[in-house]
């Protein structure tokens, strides 16, 4: 019992040590689910007729697959003119992560 409590304490401590405090988006040590905007152009015209999405996933922070680039989202949505871009992240204890780029345009 004591051994498992010690292992849990080490894992929690490592989680806090390995997560940096200066990031581009808010990060939760145990759970993260955020949406972050990225304005393109003048930011005045946010009307759009097409949406493209690209996504990548990670497992155990060891294996990551997919293409969450703006280029892939533009291709997936058949977008010619980008109006704006949103980015979202979901991560659960570093076990499973999902990162999505959404492009809005015409």
Give the 3-state secondary structure of 39-78: ECCCCCCCCCCEEEEEEEEEECCCEEEEECCHHHHHHHHC
pTM of the shown model: 0.70
Contacts made by residues 67-74, CB under 8 angstroms, sequence distance 24+: 68/99, 68/100, 68/101, 69/101, 70/101, 70/103, 72/101, 73/101, 73/102, 73/103, 74/103, 74/105
Q: What is the pLDDT of residue 79?
A: 95
HSE (CB half, 13 Å, CA atoms) of 1? Answer: 0
Q: What is the pLDDT of residue 43?
A: 63
Residue spans per domain, the chain: 24-105
Per-residue pLDDT of the chain (106 residues; tens, 9 = 90+): 667 777 777 776 666 666 555 555 566 668 888 888 776 666 676 788 999 999 999 998 789 999 999 999 999 999 999 888 999 999 888 889 999 999 999 9
Distance of CA 33 to the CA centre of its chain: 8
Q: What is the pLDDT of residue 46?
A: 74
Q: What is the pLDDT of residue 93?
A: 87
Buried b (16+ CB within 10 A) or exposed e, 23-39: eeeeeeeeebeeeeeee
Q: What is the pLDDT of residue 56?
A: 95
Q: What is the pLDDT of residue 42?
A: 63
């Amino acid at each position: 019992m004591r051994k498992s409590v010690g292992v849990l304490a080490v894992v929690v401590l490592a989680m806090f040590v390995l997560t940096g405090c200066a990031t581009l988006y808010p990060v939760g040590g145990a759970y993260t689910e955020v949406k972050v905007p990225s304005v393109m152009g003048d930011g005045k015209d946010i009307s759009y007729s097409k949406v493209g999405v690209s996504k990548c996933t990670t497992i155990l922070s060891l294996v990551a697959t997919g293409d969450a680039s703006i280029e892939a989202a533009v291709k997936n949505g058949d977008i010619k003119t980008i109006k704006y871009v949103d980015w979202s992240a979901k991560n659960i204890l570093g076990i499973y992560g999902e990162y999505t780029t959404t492009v809005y345009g015409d």
